[in-house]
Chain A
Amino acid sequence: MDHTRDNPLKRFTAFWIALLLVGCFGIACVLLRPLTHGQVDTAYEMVSDARLATKSEIMKSQAAALDSDKLEKTLKSAAQTLNQAPSKGAMPLPGAPTK
C-alpha cells in the first residue's frame, strides 16, 4: 500500500486547508463587510434631522432669552445671606444656622 500521502506534515497542511475551506464563507462575510454594514439613511433618520434642527433652534432661542448676568447676581446675593442668622421678622432660609 502506498503510504507516502500520509505523514504528519501532510496532515498538518490538510488541517489548515480544511479549516480554511470550512470557514471560507464566514471569512467572505467579514470581507464583504462594506456591503452589509455602514451608515444608511433611514426614513426615521431623515425625519430626525428635521426634528433635531427644530430642537437646536429652540435651544438657541432659549439661551438667547436667558439673562445670565442678572441670574448670577441674584444667586450671589442669595448665597451671601445663606450663612447669616436671620434678623427678626425675616424668613429664614432652609438649612441656615438659627443663631
Chain B
Amino acid sequence: MKFKAFIFGLLASFGLPWLLAIVVPFSTMRSLDPAKYAGIEIDGGEGIYIPKRDGRISEGSDVYGQEGCYYCHTQLVRPTYAGSDVWRADWGGLKKSADNPDTRRETLSTDYDGEKIAHIGVMRVGHDLSNLGRRLETNLKGTQLSPETWMFLHLYNPRGIAPYRKNSQDREERSACPSKPGLFNEVSKNIAGFDALPVAAPEGKAIVPSDRARALVSYLVSLKKDTLEQPVPQDLNYNPIQPVAK
C-alpha cells in the first residue's frame, strides 16, 4: 500500500461521513424554516410558531450542564416508533382530564432554543424532565408550595419532602436523587429573610439558595414542553390521539 493511496483512503473514508453526517446536517439544522399554524380553527394558532418559555433559560441550562444533571435525567420525549415516552403519565404532557385537554406531544426541534446544547441526557436513573415544570404546576395546585419552593426543597434534600404527585403510583416511593448541598448557602437568619428555606438549620442560621440554584430552578420550572399553553402547528403535532381543540 502506497503512502499516498493510504492517506487518500483515510481522507475519503473519513471525509464522506464528516460532510454528510456533520457539516450538512449542521447547516440544515441551523436554518430550519419556522413552522406555520394552519389557522385558529384547525390547530389553535395563527402565523409563525414561536416557542414561548419564561425564566432564566440560558443561564439555568448552563447550570444544569455544570451540575451534570444529564447523567441521570433525559429531556427527550421520543416518537412512538422509538419509545413509549408519550404514553407514560405526564412525561409528554398531561393526559385528558376534567381540568385540561390532552396536552401531550413529542419533542420539537425548537424546544431547546436559547440553550447552548440540548441536554438529551445519558441515562434515565430519574424521570424525563421535558415537562417537569408542567407536572409541578399541575400537581402543586392548591398546596402551600410553589413549584420553585418545591424544587429548592427537592434539590436540598430529595427525601425530606413529600412527592409532588398526589394520586400517582409513584407516591409511596422515595426519590432516588442525591442531594445537591453545593447549591445552597448557610447564612445568618437575620439576612435570610423570605429566602430562607423551611428546613432545619443550626441555631441562628438559615439555608438560602445560591444564585446558581435560582437560575437552575427557574430553568427547571420553565420546562413545559406540551400543548397546554401553546398549541403546536398541525404539521408538527404527531399526537396520536387528536389535535388540541380550543
Contact = CB atoms under 8 A, between A and B. Distances in A.
A21 B48 contact: no
Given A36-B26, A36-B27, A47-B48, A42 B11 contact: no
Interface in B107-122: 110, 113
Interface string B18-59: 100001101100110011000000000000111000000000
A44 B7 CA distance: 45
B11 A47 contact: no
A19 interface: no
A79 interface: no
Contacts, number: 34
B34 A43 contact: yes
B10 to A, nearest CB: 9
Interface of A is mostly: helix
A43 B48 contact: yes
Contact of A44 (B11, B24, B50): B50
A29 B48 CA distance: 33
Nearest to B113: A44
Contact of B7 (A21, A25, A32, A36): A21
B23 A46 contact: no
A36 B50 contact: no
A32 B23 contact: yes
Interface in A14-64: 21, 24-25, 28-29, 32, 35-36, 40-44, 46-47
Nearest to A45: B34
Given A24-B11, A46-B34, A36 B48 contact: no
A46 to B, nearest CB: 6
Residue of A21, A25, A35, A43 with most partner-chain B CB within 10 A: A43
Contacts of A32: 23
B204 to A, nearest CB: 47
B95 to A, nearest CB: 29
User: A-B pairs with the 8 shortest C-beta distances?
Assistant: A43-B34, A40-B31, A35-B27, A43-B48, A43-B50, A46-B48, A47-B50, A32-B23
